[in-house]
Amino acid sequence: MICLTLSGNTLESCLEEIEANRSYIDSAELRLDYLTPEEQKKAASFPSMAGLPVILTLRRKEDGGKCTLSERERRALLLSALDGDYAYVDIEEDVKKNDVEDKAREKGVKIIRSFHDFSGIPDDIYSRLYRLAERGDIAKAAVTPHTTQDLLTLFRIAEELKDVPKIIIGMGDWGIPIRILYKKAGSLLTFACSGEAVAPGQVSAKDLKLLYRADKVNDRTGIYGIIGNPVLHTSSPSIHNPGFQSINYNAIYLPFLVDNVRIFFALAEYLKMRGFSVTVPFKDAVLMYLGNITREVKQIGACNTVVRMPGMWKGMNTDYYGFLQPILPELESGKIKSALVIGAGGASQAVVWALRNRGVKVTILNRTLTKAEKLAKLNICEYDTLDNAHLYEGKVDLVVQTTSVGLFPNFDTSPVPDFHFTGKEIAYDIIYKPKMTKFLQDAEKAGCTLHFGEEMLLEQGKLQFEAFTGYHYPKDLHPSL
């Protein structure tokens, strides 16, 4: 079940949240502790108005809620709310058997026995969950993973407790995969927020249902993803998931925040992942775990696509083709014979090699000259410092921007603010957020032809899709990034 955590302080606003999300959710959790005292008193009427199974929760402050009532007052409030037809009631692990539990059992309301850990994963999580489920209740742990290892631990615990009715929630950014793959973890439900996710670790009901189709995951679902750090704002799930859906391919693609590539490979084995994309800063770090790499990966020294092969992982680089694809017509018609590549970092390597392979004369400009020199020597091209950019005005056919300058949220910066475009150049920025960078704005003002990072992102994604599934990316699908 996808369960919407209601955040309103009146029953009416909670109902509005349900209405706005009704087609994405199977149940809702009424947080009695979020309601005003007057509204709390009316809570018994809520389930019949909601029209779907509702969990009743009155969370104490020490468990992350807002309730500061005494235990006696809290019990009284829960008891009166239980006059309504709630499907579940959440009772914390340490609460002794009392009249709330008795009333719930009498009425056939299922009990969720929960504990919370906001600092980490308790060592005894396994035995606690096991014990909580002993009386036929649903055991719930909301814990806080901080590393890739923690996430792997949570999936392992979930697997060990396969036959126990449970809900395992990974709070914060590190827990997102287990929230999305809740069915893989054998959790009864996953909690979702309304609208756009506003806090780290939250996933909206709409994304869970429409983007990830989290409720459709089964034993045969192929798991794919993207690793990076940071990674949560990536647009790649919006390329791959609609692609899978469009060709009826039973698969899911989700972001994994990673701190340790070696452990991620263990997690990938554990989840039987079939492939994943790699973004900053792991494009080099994955290399040592690959049993097979393509010529491009060898030459560029960076891998952005990993696919499972029998007994090994294979590394590919679709950035290379993704970059070339949008400018192929201009390359083939001979419009691009010389290029200025700004930046000499990881992203620049694929760009420089792609252009050199097409016979383009390349000059690399970089803030740190030694890095430009190293890349230039590897690829037989010229190099210079950023400060000398003006020397190349009017002398090149293509200017490519590969640095992180201008990236969201620093919209108003360009690595070459004083470079004057003549209007004849083709300007290409590989940044895709924002689409129109300061660099491209300057080029547009001069009348240049523009190419956007979005084009490269999409092209490299389509090639990954092919590597992942063996199928072409659906032609008539235009994902919004």
Catalytic center residues: 283
Phi, psi (rounded to 5 degrees) for 362 = -115, 135
Return the closest-CA partner of residue 362 out of 297, 378, 413, 414: 378
Measured CA to CA in angstroms, residue 73 lies from 7, 76, 89, 304 at distances of 22, 5, 17, 56
Minimum distance of ligand ATR from residue 241's CB (angstroms): 25
Residue choice 188, 306, 344, 456 for contact with ligand ATR (CB under 6 A) = 344
Residue choice 201, 255, 343, 461 for contact with ligand ATR (CB under 6 A) = 343
Residues 383-402 that bind ligand ATR (CB under 6 A): 386
Instruction: Establish if 186 lies at the interface with ligand ATR (CB under 6 A).
Output: no
For residue 318, give the DSSP letter: H
Tell me the one-letter amino acid at 135.
Answer: R
Instruction: Kindly state the helix (H) or strand (E) to which residue 255 belongs, with its residue range.
Output: strand 251-257
**CA dihedral over 34, 40, 46, 52, signed as positive or negative:** positive
Residue choice 145, 346, 406, 461 for contact with ligand ATR (CB under 6 A) = 346
Phi, psi (rounded to 5 degrees) for 99 = -70, -20
Minimum distance of ligand ATR from residue 451's CB (angstroms): 18
Minimum distance of ligand ATR from residue 366's CB (angstroms): 5
Nearer residue to ligand ATR within complex by CB, 18 or 341: 341
Residues 401-430 that bind ligand ATR (CB under 6 A): 403-405, 415
Instruction: Establish if 374 lies at the interface with ligand ATR (CB under 6 A).
Output: no
Measured CA to CA in angstroms, residue 90 lies from 75, 257, 410 at distances of 12, 30, 44
Cα distance between residue 164 and residue 186, in whole Å: 9
Segment lying near ligand ATR (by CB under 6 A), choices 80-88, 260-268, 361-369, 421-429: 361-369
Nearer residue to ligand ATR within complex by CB, 170 or 415: 415
Residue choice 21, 149, 294, 366 for contact with ligand ATR (CB under 6 A) = 366
Residues 251-290 that bind ligand ATR (CB under 6 A): 280
Nearer residue to ligand ATR within complex by CB, 169 or 302: 302
Minimum distance of ligand ATR from residue 257's CB (angstroms): 17
Nearer residue to ligand ATR within complex by CB, 343 or 453: 343
Q: Is 251 helix (H, G, I), strand (E, B) or coil?
A: strand
Q: How many CB atoms lie within 10 A of CB 118?
A: 12
Instruction: Establish if 433 lies at the interface with ligand ATR (CB under 6 A).
Output: no
| C-alpha neighbours within 13 Å on the C-beta side of residue 158 | 28
Instruction: Establish if 210 lies at the interface with ligand ATR (CB under 6 A).
Output: no
Between the two ends of the chain, the Cα-to-Cα distance in Å is 27
Minimum distance of ligand ATR from residue 313's CB (angstroms): 21
Cα distance between residue 223 and residue 214, in whole Å: 11
Instruction: Establish if 170 lies at the interface with ligand ATR (CB under 6 A).
Output: no
Segment lying near ligand ATR (by CB under 6 A), choices 177-185, 286-294, 311-319, 340-348: 340-348
Nearer residue to ligand ATR within complex by CB, 91 or 347: 347
Minimum distance of ligand ATR from residue 441's CB (angstroms): 17
Binding letters toward ligand ATR, positions 103-142, x by CB under 6 A = ----------------------------------------
Buried b (16+ CB within 10 A) or exposed e, 199-212: eebbbbbbbbbebb
* Whether the Cβ atoms of residue 325 and residue 304 lie closer than 8 Å to each other: no
- Give me the residues paired with residue 138 across strands: 112
Q: Is 232 helix (H, G, I), strand (E, B) or coil?
A: coil
Site for ligand ATR (CB under 6 A): how many residues?
A: 16
* Whether the Cβ atoms of residue 59 and residue 66 lie closer than 8 Å to each other: yes
Binding letters toward ligand ATR, positions 289-328, x by CB under 6 A = ----------------------------------------
Minimum distance of ligand ATR from residue 302's CB (angstroms): 8
Minimum distance of ligand ATR from residue 281's CB (angstroms): 7
Nearer residue to ligand ATR within complex by CB, 65 or 343: 343
* Beta-sheet strands, E only, within 335-425: 338-342, 361-366, 382-385, 398-401
Instruction: Establish if 460 lies at the interface with ligand ATR (CB under 6 A).
Output: no
Cα distance between residue 395 and residue 421, in whole Å: 10
Cα distance between residue 63 and residue 206, in whole Å: 27
Residue choice 58, 347, 351, 355 for contact with ligand ATR (CB under 6 A) = 347
Minimum distance of ligand ATR from residue 413's CB (angstroms): 8
Return the closest-CA partner of residue 283 out of 324, 235, 227, 230: 227
**CA dihedral over 70, 83, 191, 10, signed as positive or negative:** negative
Instruction: Establish if 345 lies at the interface with ligand ATR (CB under 6 A).
Output: yes
Which residue's C-beta sits nearest to ligand ATR? 345
**Contact footprint for ligand ATR (CB under 6 A):** 280, 343-348, 366-368, 371, 386, 403-405, 415
